[in-house]
Amino acid sequence: MVYFDNKIISLNSAYGQKLNGSLTSLLLFNFQGILKEETNILRSYISVVNAQIPVSFLTINSSNNTFIYTYNSTTYTITITPGNYNATNLITAFNTAFTTNGSLIIVSINKLTGVLTFTSSVLFIVLSTSLIAKILGLTFPTLSSLILIATYPLNLLGIKNISIKSSKLLLSGYSSTTLGYSSTLATIPVDTASFNLISYVSNNDLNKHIIKIQYLDAIDISMMDESDNLIDFNNIDWTITLCLSIERQEIVLNNLNLHEVIRNNQTIPQENPEIPIVETQDEKELNLLTK
């Protein structure tokens, strides 16, 4: 008979080893004996039961906040302060930074199309090393220009999907980001406004993964965006509940009951042979007289 032995594993980032500091998106949880080799284990599975994730990450962050350009043969870098921006706030931040650098460049937006325009007094070029280029709708290569119109609309949607990953579990999945192997436990859509809480509950078995290892003493968790960048949670903690499901083969015990064991092991007593009767001398003489 096969049965499942389920173990609930509660993870709180406040009690894990934070491997990327206050970003709180790369953690290691050290356990003892979560999973060990046993003769009756057939397979082991793991899945995300639920998760509570704060939307504390920002639209503009340390992984996408630089703008690098050449103006009058001089290269400048603008670093936008991390935050949640709308179009007006972001344009103001750029125009202020251009003025600070002494660059006569003005940014404006077409309110019908959402496309940005960079208008300059001299020829300038945006470099492809600008991490914020995709958000601004810019594509490369860009030519030196007095008027640079972005190819696509300004995109301030931010992170739309969170991937929960674990390399120690040796999961088998795939991602279009790398067109190859992915260690993803689950993906969670960001459908809540900034500074609110995502409350995710799994309602099916599609997120159940076979674990390809026999020993498990630690679990690592990476929280990444759709571009495989580690998310910056700004030191605000999250919780995840996992279920380790172990498929076991029941050990069949001997069905003999105690009475049968006693009966099978009991020896049958043999009858004692007759003990010869020894007559005394008086008895012998008496028997002779009575004959």
pLDDT of residue 266 exceeding 80, the answer is: no
In a domain, 195, yes or no: yes
pLDDT at position 279:
61
The residue out of 95, 126, 149 marking a domain boundary is 149
Residues 185 and 237 in one domain: yes
Question: Worst-scoring range by mean pLDDT, 37-41, 122-126, 136-140, 163-167?
Answer: 37-41
pLDDT of residue 13 exceeding 80, the answer is: yes
85-132 tens-digit pLDDT: 999 999 999 999 999 999 999 999 999 999 999 999 999 999 999 999
Mean pLDDT of the chain: 87
Q: Which two tokens stand for residue 217?
A: 């003493």
Gap between the Cα atoms of 258 and 276, Å rounded: 41
In a domain, 274, yes or no: no
| Residue 282 main-chain phi, psi, to 5 deg | -65, -40
- Short-list 191, 200, 188, 237, CA closest to 50: 200
Q: Which two tokens stand for residue 170?
A: 């040796």
pLDDT at position 285:
57
pLDDT of residue 163 exceeding 60, the answer is: yes
In a domain, 242, yes or no: yes
Q: Mean of the pLDDT values across residues 25-40?
A: 88
pLDDT at position 171:
80
Q: Mean of the pLDDT values across residues 232-254?
A: 88
Gap between the Cα atoms of 64 and 82, Å rounded: 9
Residue 49 sits in a domain of what CATH number?
2.60.120.1100
Range of the domain at 188: 2-57+160-249
In a domain, 14, yes or no: yes
- Which residues, 6+ apart, have CB-to-CB distance to 218 below 8 Å? 28, 29, 30, 31, 168
- Short-list 92, 44, 84, CA closest to 61: 84
- pTM for this predicted structure: 0.78
Gap between the Cα atoms of 94 and 87, Å rounded: 11
Q: Mean of the pLDDT values across residues 49-66?
A: 96
